[in-house]
Structure 1
Amino acid sequence: MFRALISFFVIALLSVSSVFAAERAEFDLIGYSHGGKYFAFEEYGIQDGSGFAYSTIYVLSLENDAWVGGSPFHVQAGDETTQLAEIRSQALRAAMGPLGTYDISTPARLIALNGDGEPESDELTLDFGVPGYSDPSSHFGSYELSFDIFSAPSGENCMDYFGDEAKGFRLKLSDGTTTSILHEDTRVPTSRGCPVTYRASAVVIPFDAYDIDHGVALISVWSYGFEGMDRRFIAVPLNKGN
């Protein structure tokens, strides 16, 4: 009975607070290694509840689809007076060693974006191509990212906490002829908390690339938080093994 009352209180609090608060992390592209085998990006924002600034820097091996070099490098303020700019600088300093070790020196090129202020006609797909150079509309290839979202086992007791099962996802890439599965959850990692849904936020490639062999999809993960739904990011390689 006590657990049920707590769950009801949390859900009621979320339904009211989500109008006013919660948080959505933002991302910043750091870049690729020479040759495109490694990719780094930053996730940053102001934590809901505490109001503390935070920044996390990830360095990803595209070949192994795994974080490398001791990443992620997470820095969080201890109070509300520490500015976000200072926390971001601290995170970058913490990651400088691996960024140098993996030669993260090639800029990342943003080729597709689902902006937060852009109305989405279909929230579960993102169409894109590699931009060309002959005119503003030229591009190479035509691709579509799409999601299947489903209930999945989780390390968190999301049903008792929020009255909803954790959601996993299947991410697919189509080139108009074939469709491949880039990622499929069998279990939701505890690090995601209690996810509600997912979106394809962006697609990036190395600055000097003319294909998606080293492309990365940045996926928004919306999970229940202290004051509503919070957003974090997952990076998924478009072509593992390169």
Structure 2
Amino acid sequence: MKKRLIIGGVLAAALAGLPGMTLAGDIANIQPIGFSADGKVFGFQEFGIKEEGRIPYSNTYFVNTGSGQYLEGTPFRTELTDKDANLSKARRQNLTAARGEMDKYDLLTNPGLIAAFNPPTELGSPSKTIRYTTLATDGPPKSPYTLSLGEMPVPTPKECASIDKRVLGFSLQMIEKEGAPNRQAARQATAVPAERVCSVEYRIGGAMVYQPETGNQVHIALILAFDAERNGRWIAVPVHP
């Protein structure tokens, strides 16, 4: 069953809260899984322990890099409430459930490159921009890219009516491409998964790059979405330079 999405608003392991802020929620960790050989599918897992109830959870997502939407029948979600529940058990069960899709698209064969990583725990790091190159080489940066994240108010969905903070969406621009200034609107209006529509803040948390044997590079912006309780969850946003 395809997940419902809305237009308007719309990632790299974050282990703690934003510096200088009091958080009541938890921020999920993220583990990229990989790409299909043609770059048309990207998979990742997020996981953590919910602050309320100390419930271990794990979710595995499969994203169509053309549309930015989840593949039909995904994501796979696991929450464990039994007395012997732990994070390891939740992750294993979740990956077992998702293994068919992982194998179908051969994601483990094509891990891609973690080109940049910008967790909230990195003191002083910018939250709305990220700069990276597409080759893992030493020395001066070669043909860098920069993504810039902007927030914007959106109409409050009815399921968010009880929230006492402004609901936000975001725009994403590639302001540098191969070392040159760029005005490309990577994702000015992006479809947001239904479970993220009540987000009140976003952070650009990382970037993935994959080069298929044939065809153009695929870039993935990893966006961390915060709800009003300061729970942080991830969205993978495909970018095509």
Q: TM-score band, normalised by the shorter chain?
A: 0.7 to 0.9
Which amino acid in the other structure matches residue 35 of structure 2?
Y
Which amino acid in the other structure matches residue 37 of structure 1?
K
Which amino acid in the other structure matches residue 131 of structure 1?
L
Counterpart of 2:146 (choices 144, 147, 152) is 144
Identity of aligned residues (%): 27
Q: Which runs of 5+ in 1 are unaligned?
A: 1-17
The equivalent residue for 1:163 is 164
Q: In proportion to residue count, which structure has more strand?
A: 1
Distance 1:20 1:144, change over 3 A: closer
- What are the superposed Cα offsets for residues 62-93 of structure 1, whole Å, 9 maximum, x if unpaired? 12322115210001112453010111011111
Counterpart of 2:86 (choices 53, 74, 83) is 83
CA drift at 1:166: 0.4
User: CA contact under 8 A between 1:34 and 1:106: conserved in structure 2?
Assistant: yes
RMSD over equivalenced CA pairs, Å: 2.6
**TM-score, length basis structure 2:** 0.80
CA drift at 1:157: 5.6
The equivalent residue for 2:222 is 218
User: CA contact under 8 A between 2:221 and 2:237: conserved in structure 1?
Assistant: yes
**TM-score, length basis structure 1:** 0.79
Counterpart Cα distance in 2 of 1:169 and 1:80: 39
CA drift at 1:196: 1.6
User: CA contact under 8 A between 1:36 and 1:206: conserved in structure 2?
Assistant: yes
CA drift at 1:101: 1.4
Q: How many residues align?
A: 216
Higher relative contact order (CA 8 A, sep 6+): 2
Partner SS for 1:180 = strand
Which amino acid in the other structure matches residue 234 of structure 1?
I
Instruction: Answer with 1 or 2: which has the greater Rg.
Output: 1
Q: Which runs of 5+ in 2 are unaligned?
A: 1-20
- What are the superposed Cα offsets for residues 135-194 of structure 1, whole Å, 9 maximum, x if unpaired? x22443121111221110132464x53322201100111223322222234786541142
The equivalent residue for 1:182 is 186
Which amino acid in the other structure matches residue 133 of structure 2?
G
User: CA contact under 8 A between 2:39 and 2:212: conserved in structure 1?
Assistant: no
